[in-house]
Amino acid sequence: MLLTIAWRNIWRNRRRSMIVLLSIVVGVAAMMFNDGLSVGMIRQMLENSIGSHVSHIQIHANGFNDNKVIQKNITDTHLVERMLDENGNIAHWSRRVVTYGLLSSALNSSGGLIVGVEPDREPEVTSIRRSIIEGTYLTGASHEVVIGRKLAEKLQVGVGDKVVGMASALSGDVGSDLFRVVGIYETVSSDFDKTHMFTTLTNAQSMLELGDAVLEYAIIVDDARQVEKVTEELRYHLGDAYEVLSYMDLLPLLVAQVDMYDQMMYIVYLIIALAMIFGIVNTMLMSVFERIQEFGVLMAIGMKNSLVFWMVMLEAVILGAIGTVVGLAIGILLILLFGSVGIDFSIFAESLTSFGVGAIIYPRLTINTVVSVSIIIPLTMILGALYPALRATRLQPVTAIRYV
């Protein structure tokens, strides 16, 4: 009976009820879309870093990550590669030589990271080949180099031009080689494009006098959720002579930013909930004041105060439930729609690429978002209705009936 009465009371003033419902729907949908957009942006930053160079897991000689000198190289490549081939959770892996060096053209020079890669394996690990905008990717021929668009602009070179690469060799001398630019790539990170140049593994090994030694193994696992498990397995089998680092170890700031955002969203939810409470309190109080005589009559004929309390609370719960369900549906549809086509923020492209996000952001729907909104909004409605409901129970029947 209370549910029926509460439902009828809601629609006695359709305008007010529809305004409350609309505010809840818009609030829920906006909260979800904002959350999905922010999650998408932060996850893209992390995934772009993983896809452009970092990969899921890296293996080096112990201490290489803290001090990237070529003397800390991996000579027993057979042991590492056997462990990688035997692990069923690893999808792809590639050998690399990574060192700091200098790339010079006839007009300018720039320092950065010279990366020697296997042209047949590296495209399965990183996205550089898919990012080529001019020329081609490494074919495996001698003296090829692929550089970023920003670096090409600084060096004032294009496809077909020659550049000189220099870096410290294993003997301590300066190793150098003449390269021809065969491709120019552009990723979503302008900083990455300024500092990374790619050549073949054999070229890098020859220039640095490394022989068959490598400095890094880049690994992609089948399921990103298995990264920690695979990392621990490789650490156990390879021992202390090697360092096995997951992207969480290699990108601690980005990983921390993802975790921090999850905590910050609860603060945003709290602020929005507090703002909604004031509106709900005002609306429900107006509803109570308009029906003082009605409450007086109900109390006079024997309705208990507890029933009056729950009747008012039910009205708020019904409004909150309907608004939340409709808002969730709209929010989910918006996130799924824009999550597939993306939102073009080209007007802010320079700023976004400096953060490694990209001009197009794809919102993402997470279970955490749905659960949080599904709990917070109805709870906010209940808290906002508490005071008006208590106010209704304190009415004196005689005074309420005579209220004008």
Residue-level pLDDT at 125? 93
Beta bridge partners of 217: 59, 95
Distance between CA 59 and CA 320 in Å, rounded? 52
Residue-level pLDDT at 34? 85
The type of residue at 309 is F
Place of tokens 């708020």: 316
Torsion angle of alpha carbons 73, 76, 77, 82, nearest 10°?
Answer: -140
Beta bridge partners of 46: none
Place of tokens 């990455």: 192
Q: Flag whether 217 is in a domain.
A: yes
Is residue 281 domain-shared with residue 163, that is, in the same domain? no
Is residue 167 domain-shared with residue 221, that is, in the same domain? yes
Is residue 301 domain-shared with residue 349, that is, in the same domain? yes
Q: Flag whether 80 is in a domain.
A: yes
Domain stops at, among 239, 265, 294: 239
3 state DSSP class of 364: coil
Count each helix (H run) and each strand (E run) in the chain, helices first: 14, 12
**What residues contact 7, with CB distance under 8 A and at least 6 apart?**
318
Q: What is the total count of domains within the chain?
A: 2
Residue-level pLDDT at 353? 64
Is residue 19 domain-shared with residue 129, that is, in the same domain? no
Q: Flag whether 57 is in a domain.
A: no
Q: Flag whether 33 is in a domain.
A: yes
Q: Flag whether 248 is in a domain.
A: no
Contact 249, 109 (CB under 8 A): no
**What residues contact 199, with CB distance under 8 A and at least 6 apart?**
114, 115, 116, 117, 138, 144, 145, 146, 165, 179
Is residue 226 domain-shared with residue 262, that is, in the same domain? no
Q: Which of 119, 121, 103, 136 is nearest to 207 (CA)?
A: 103
Domain stops at, among 189, 211, 239: 239
What's the number of CA atoms in the CB half-sphere (13 Å) around residue 206? 11
Residue-level pLDDT at 95? 94
Is residue 24 domain-shared with residue 93, that is, in the same domain? no
Distance between CA 260 and CA 130 in Å, rounded? 31
- Count Cβ atoms below 10 Å from residue 15 Cβ, excluding itself: 7
Distance between CA 319 and CA 23 in Å, rounded? 11
DSSP character string of 89-111: TEEEEEEEEEEEEEEE-SS-EEE
Is residue 112 domain-shared with residue 188, that is, in the same domain? yes
Is residue 178 domain-shared with residue 316, that is, in the same domain? no
Range of 356's domain?
Answer: 2-49+254-401
- Count Cβ atoms below 10 Å from residue 302 Cβ, excluding itself: 8
pTM of the model: 0.77
Contact 393, 309 (CB under 8 A): yes
Is residue 40 domain-shared with residue 78, that is, in the same domain? no
Give the CA angle between residues 351, 42, 275 to the nearest 5°.
95
Residue-level pLDDT at 287? 74
Q: Flag whether 185 is in a domain.
A: yes
Q: Flag whether 347 is in a domain.
A: yes
Structure tokens at 296: 């007086």
From first to last of its 404 residues, the chain has per-residue pLDDT tens of 667 777 777 777 778 778 888 888 888 888 888 888 888 888 888 888 888 888 999 999 998 988 888 889 998 889 899 999 999 899 999 999 999 999 999 889 998 899 999 999 999 999 999 999 999 999 989 899 999 999 999 999 999 999 999 999 888 888 889 999 999 999 888 888 888 999 999 999 999 999 888 999 999 999 888 999 999 999 998 888 899 999 989 888 877 877 777 777 778 778 877 877 777 787 777 777 777 777 777 778 777 877 778 888 888 888 888 888 999 999 999 999 988 888 877 766 666 665 566 677 888 888 888 888 888 888 888 888 888 888 777 777 767 676 55
Is residue 151 domain-shared with residue 287, that is, in the same domain? no
Is residue 224 domain-shared with residue 313, that is, in the same domain? no
Q: Flag whether 244 is in a domain.
A: no
Is residue 164 domain-shared with residue 266, that is, in the same domain? no
